[in-house]
Amino acid sequence: MASRTQQEIRDLLGVRVQVGEIVTISNAELLWPNFSGAKDKYNAEGDRNFNLRLSQELADELTADGWNVKCKLARPEDPDSGERCVLKVTVNFGNKPPKIIQRGSITRRETQLHEGIAGLMDSADIVTADVSFVPYFWDVNGSVGMTAYLKTLYCVIQEDELDLKWNSEDIDPVEENLGD
């Protein structure tokens, strides 16, 4: 059997989202980041991903378009009452790697993360983030589906006074420490 095209899989699924369509979410909240692909209770080794927390309105909209949004009752400590809705986004550095840019909250210095250092996102204190993703339509052993793949992520990372000191172009921390 010949493999199906993205469009053929999309048509089989009967979803509204189009092949190559870009979805952008501003002021996104990233949950459970695993940009390193570390194995854990909920993640197989090498699977890089994160979840986006969605408002109920956005969750309903994305679900209507065919995205695989998951909603569960919020935990008591969760600021949202009712349901907590999320969309899992895959991070893949294969054919067309995503663009991931971190900017410091104080220094405003930008760092573009590549596959080797993307794991820095796993422990980053994200102040704000804008995310875009695209659909990937898959066909495995006759089962078909759609997954969100990260296209672009811009985020501001919380910095502290040491980040300011060590990232300043006006200060040489090595020379500054020699006088102590």
Encoded tokens for 178: 């020699």
Report pLDDT digits (tens) over 3-62. 899 999 999 999 999 999 999 999 999 999 999 999 998 889 999 999 999 999 999 999
How many folded domains does the chain comprise?
Answer: 1
Is 64 domain-assigned?
A: yes
Q: What's the domain range around 18?
A: 6-95+130-152
Is 163 domain-assigned?
A: no
Is 54 domain-assigned?
A: yes
Confidence of residue 134 (pLDDT cuts 50, 70, 90): very high
Encoded tokens for 74: 């919020």
| C-alpha distances out from residue 89 to 1, 34, 79, 139, 162, Å | 29, 10, 22, 18, 32
pTM of the predicted protein model: 0.87
Is 179 domain-assigned?
A: no
DSSP state, residue 100? E
Q: Which residue has the tokens 């969750």?
A: 59
Q: What is the pLDDT of residue 165?
A: 81
Bridge partners (DSSP) listed for residue 130: 154
Q: Which residue has the tokens 């089962």?
A: 143
> Is pLDDT above 60 for 107?
yes
Is 85 domain-assigned?
A: yes
Is 76 domain-assigned?
A: yes
Instruction: Please give the angle made by the CA atoms of 18, 86 and 141, to the nearest 5 degrees.
Output: 55
Task: Compare 148 and 76 and report the one with higher pLDDT.
Answer: 148
Q: Which residue has the tokens 């059997």?
A: 1
Q: Which residue has the tokens 């469009």?
A: 7
Report pLDDT digits (tens) over 115-130. 999 999 999 999 999 9
Is 25 domain-assigned?
A: yes
Residue pair 36/124 in contact by the 8 Å Cβ criterion: no
**Three-class SS of residue 44?**
coil
pLDDT over 70 percentage in the chain? 89
Residue (of 79, 78, 100) closest to 91 by Cα position = 100
Is 145 domain-assigned?
A: yes
- In the chain, the N- to C-terminal Cα span, in Å, equals 72
Query: How does the average pLDDT of the chain come out, rounded?
Result: 90
Q: What is the mean pLDDT of residues 74-79?
A: 71
